[in-house]
Amino acid sequence: MGRKKAALTGQLADMDLRLLKVFKAVVECGGFTPAELQLNLANSTISNYIADLEKRLDMRLCERGRAGFSLTEQGQTVYNATLELLSAIDQFKNTINQSHNRILGDLHLGFAEHMLGAHNSSILKVLHLFSIKAPEVKIRISTMSSDDVIAALLNQQVDIGITVTSQPYPELTTMKLFEEEMLLYCAQDHPLFNRTDEIQAAELRQYRFVESPRLMTGREVHPDMKLWNKQARAHHQEARATLILSGHYLGFLPRHLVRNWRLEKDLRPLFNDQYGYTNTVKALWRKRQHNQLIIQLFTDCLAETTV
């Protein structure tokens, strides 16, 4: 006798939604352990929740063990269905909100790191205004590297991203916010820090650089950068600053970040006119989203406070 077909019996309860949201977080984080921080749950609790969901659905949703975390074919189906279900619930909330002239729901923001002090702390002003206009919306903020913000948007892990991007994405709506100045820095223990004579650009080739997104092959903003000795990689700015401050590497940092961290005496900018460049910080969001009312309000706040 063949195995009976899996079926979801009975009513879909609040607990089922809770289990599905945990499952969604585990999938998007890439495993139980990475999801602990986001869910604020212990690994054992997450494991029990997934086991309960598998029992409820009569499906094996994922493989976990020494080989790592991976979705089964049924798990992928359940994940896709979960996205559709949660989207439909949010759409229902939006419809009810509009009829009552209230805004309820969730907003997940993905920020490139260190946006707090950028452009006269304009992000703080946006959050302040939005919280006044939509006090009942639950806000969640994740900080990540610039490239990871785009990936999170495309994978529907965040609703709005604020980051630096140099290429267009047809599936995303874009709003220019402000620009940040990027300068090449060396630290006190670096041989170039105390040089009083004129430094020649060709000399830079003998020193080590820490690679950042705009120093990656094909992304260089100046032809000379293709000849630089990139021996370290750090796309997160704090990690990059740490390597530069060690005195062994040259690298790019935002001027506002150096100022905010009060490192202006510890770091010396080099060749500002020749190698300095500006990043354009943008807000991006998917063109069709379940919580469109919330997205529209937040982007309206962005437009009002960052002009």
Q: Are residues 242 and 288 in the same domain?
A: no
Residue 195 shares a structural domain with residue 261: yes
Task: Give the pLDDT band of residue 74 (cuts 50, 70, 90).
Answer: very high
Q: Is the pLDDT of residue 23 over 50?
A: yes
Please check whether residues 270 and 285 belong to one and the same domain.
Answer: no
171 and 144 share a domain?
yes
Residue 187's domain is classified under what CATH number?
3.40.190.10
Q: Is the pLDDT of residue 272 over 50?
A: yes
Residues 164 and 285 in one domain: yes
Q: Is the pLDDT of residue 9 over 80?
A: no
How many folded domains does the chain comprise? 3
Residue 215's closest CA among 249, 261, 257? 249
Query: Per the domain annotation, does 73 fall within a domain?
Result: yes
Same domain, 151 and 285: yes
pLDDT of 112: 85
Q: Is 162 found in the same domain as 78?
A: no
Q: Is residue 4 assigned to a domain?
A: no
Same domain for 172 and 300, yes or no, is: yes
Residue 96 belongs to some domain of the structure: no
Q: What pLDDT does residue 284 have? A: 93
Is 97 a member of any domain?
A: no
Buried-exposed string 232-267: b where 16+ CB fall within 10 A, e elsewhere: bebbbbeebbebbbeebbbbbbbbbbbeebebeebb
pLDDT score at 228: 95
Please give the Cα distance from 26 to 113 (Å, whole number).
23
pLDDT of residue 207: 96
pLDDT band at 151 (very low <50, low <70, confident <90, very high): confident
Distance, in Å, from the CA atom of 67 to the CA atom of 84, rounded to the nearest integer, reads: 29
- Determine, yes or no, domain membership for 5: no
Residue 205 scores a pLDDT above 90: yes
- Given the structure tokens 């190698």, which residue do they identify? 275
Domain-located, residue 95: no
Q: Is 8 domain-assigned? A: no
For residue range 103-142, what is the model confidence (pLDDT) as tens digits? 788 899 998 877 766 666 778 889 999 999 999 899 999 8
191 vs 90, more confident:
191
Shared-domain flag, residues 166 and 290: yes
Please tell me whether residues 191 and 272 are part of one structural domain: yes
pLDDT interval class at 90 (50, 70, 90): confident
pLDDT above 50 (res 76): yes
pLDDT at 246 over 50: yes
| Whether residue 184 sits in one domain with residue 169 | no
Task: Classify strands 62-63 and 277-286 as parallel, antiparallel or unpaired.
Answer: unpaired
Q: What's the chain's average pLDDT?
A: 86
Which domain does 28 fall in, by range? 14-87
End-of-domain residue from the set 87, 116, 144? 87
More confidently predicted of 158 and 166: 158
pLDDT computed for residue 11 by the predictor: 62
Statement: the pTM of the whole predicted model exceeds 0.85: no
pLDDT surpassing 60 at residue 3: no
CATH number at residue 26: 1.10.10.10
Cα–Cα dist 72/62, whole Å: 5
Domain boundary among 35, 58, 87: 87
Answer whether residue 1 is part of any domain: no
One domain for residues 191 and 173: no
Q: Bridge partners of 63?
A: 70
